[in-house]
Structure 1
Amino acid sequence: MPRQARIDIEGQYYHVMSRGIERRAIFVGESDYEDFYGRLAEWLRRSGGKCLAWCLMPNHFHVFLMRGDRPLSELMSHVLTGYATTYNLKHERAGHLFQNRYKSIICLSEKYLRELVPYIHLNPLRAGLVKELSGLKDYRWCGHAAALGLCGKDILDRRELLKHFGETEQGAVRNYLREIAAREAAGRLEREELPEAPEQTSPDQETQDGWLVSAPVPVDKAILQAQSRDTVLALAERISGVERGNIFGLTRARAVSYARAIYCYLRKESSGVSGEELAEELRISRSGVSRLILRGRGYFGDWEKLNNSTTSPNV
């Protein structure tokens, strides 16, 4: 059976992870960590990607990143293939180093993002590589210290990370530390599993900014036939409850983000408006528009399926 194609969109957030074959070590000494880290840093730079969280463990790794202008598959291929080749030569071994191909989970939810980043950075404490939470900042192969602003050069893009935890640097760091401390206080570290990503395959199971939507966004002929900007704006207002003035404002409120996702998706699919035009209209980056369109697809479902549907409940 052929491999299923991955969703690979510029500006989208991905949680990437892989482990050693048969759970064996992929890092033996410090030079192995340095080699992998150097390759990851180089290809993040080349691809224009931004790292929001990362952790290298003896037999696996986690990287949470925003995809740049080059495919995620290209970045990971260069990092993993190059590292595995060097590792095998150095340690006089042959065969696969990593178990299957890397996993990548798309992140559409702010709630999931705020759970995922602490989960990744807590790996060393959970595995006993550091003895207590205060020592986590001293673990070299993790982005926690960089998130706190305690190291100068790191692959972690601190500004990109902290904007998801608060409006100010001080407040964002405080909220980030609160998320981490809450997990330790709740006694979840020893048995904590990867946060469950919101299901993206069905509108019935879609989440809106981390909260489960009980039913798909209702679809009627007005949505399927929406052509003009005013018609789409009216639909976005009606569905989201957000006034059109706020859709084009500078606020980052979750409800407004939801309205913008609806607007961008419908404008692109029903009217054929380009991402560049939408970016200029909303005064955001093209990568930001790509993320909004993808969220909109999650809320409504696949456009072709909508157009081919024979039953459409009224809004």
Structure 2
Amino acid sequence: MTTSSQSNEKTYFNVHTTGLGFLKRIREVTPGGRKRDAFLACAISALTGTGDKPTYRYLDVRVSGSKAQELVRSYAADVEAGRPVLIQFRVGDTFSDVFVRTAGDKAGMPDATLKGRLLTAAALDLSMLQQVVQHQLDTRGLGYINRIARSQRDPSLRHCSLVMLNGSVDEPVYRYVDIDATDPTVVALLDQYSDDVQAKRKVLVSFRLEDLEASFFTRTKGENAGEHSPVMKSTLSYIGTIKVDGQEVYRDPSKLVHSEMASENAEAAPGIEGADVSPATTPQVDTPVDQASEQTAVDNVPSADAPESLTESAA
């Protein structure tokens, strides 16, 4: 018989990217193969940076949430006509992918884009943009700190590799992100646990990244030399919790004071850490869901040596 605690147990790690952006390229996609169903897809030109001079990050997403599908379809005519449609979004399973441009001055050249699943979306009035001073493109989840290096140019800067956990707890997918850290609190935490990282202990953190970016590199060694491979880049702006080999060694002090939400999450899914990330400046569509208990992945994660993508120069 299934107990209440078993029915409430979470079984997935989620990487969630949230922000504001413009709807683009709404279309129905029919994959090859008889057993593969058609699906709704769209693109989002996500806003990041200052309100008066934003930068755009392109996300090509499959529309998964039922309400998100309704919203996207309702604005298909506006997008087709070139009218701007501003949305607030939450994308899950974010990753980078390489493609080859087919038109324009860069036709035939490789490039990279962020991909994922559009889980939730809400349409916003364009006047909302006038109120934004700083656009937040935030990515949250759980991951392992893989390596830490001091910048030779800036003593206050740290470079590190983050291995994000995504998918099933039993067989998680590992997404590598090449990140910088400049926030003094984050830098101090990385320095404090750098010996553990160097000793190949499993340093698991709940994190928030800012301004996730897709890129690619060209392999120069081995049998895959010349191949273009995707990589993500970002800034590590916040660490909520740290566990070393499964033992919690740090929790954001503000979370110890404001722990009501964390207690509710713990009752629903013991061992949750990803939900500990503090709210972003951009208002959320809703509360992130289905963060997993991480213990199985802690027990089974392979040694997270930096892949070649993080040791070669990115394009």
- How high is the TM-score relative to the length of structure 2? 0.27
**More strand, by proportion:** 2
- How high is the TM-score relative to the length of structure 1? 0.27
**More helix, by proportion:** 1
Larger Rg: 1
Higher relative contact order (CA 8 A, sep 6+): 2
